[in-house]
Amino acid sequence: MRAVLQRVSRASVSVDGVPAGQIGAGLLILVCAMQGDGEAQADKLAAKIAKLRIFKDNAGKMNLSVRDAGGAALVVSQFTLAADLRGNRPGFSYAAAPDEGRRLYEYFTARLAGEGIPVANGVFGADMDVELVNQGPVTIWMDTDQI
């Protein structure tokens, strides 16, 4: 699985102008299930994100996880993280099939919540408007093949 994490002071997602999910301080997580991914990759990604120390402690050092900082996560499906850029028009054949992508997205979200992190969601497969205030800015790209 692939993910882009952004440390935010707030983030929200809406579909056709209707709010779907929002958080205050925490992480905006754009996530994509890749072909061949399964629950093991979702488990690995959720565990890593829950423990990743990218929030400031009282001394101003990035020493706290989202859970330690009392933050939440807004999880948004993002199949374009699977883009094949060999040509000028991206292809997305590396992404999991839609049904499997949805299943793993929902599984990942549940695992993250199981780590004790409040979770809000986007709408799988929808055209969404995502708004965020990136704090830092801190933006981290993750791939379960590399963590």
Catalytic positions are 78-80
* Angle CA 95–80–69, to nearest 5: 100
How many Cα atoms occupy the beta-carbon half-sphere of 32 within 13 Å? 19
Q: State the virtual CA torsion across 99, 104, 106, 107 in degrees, nearest 10.
A: 140
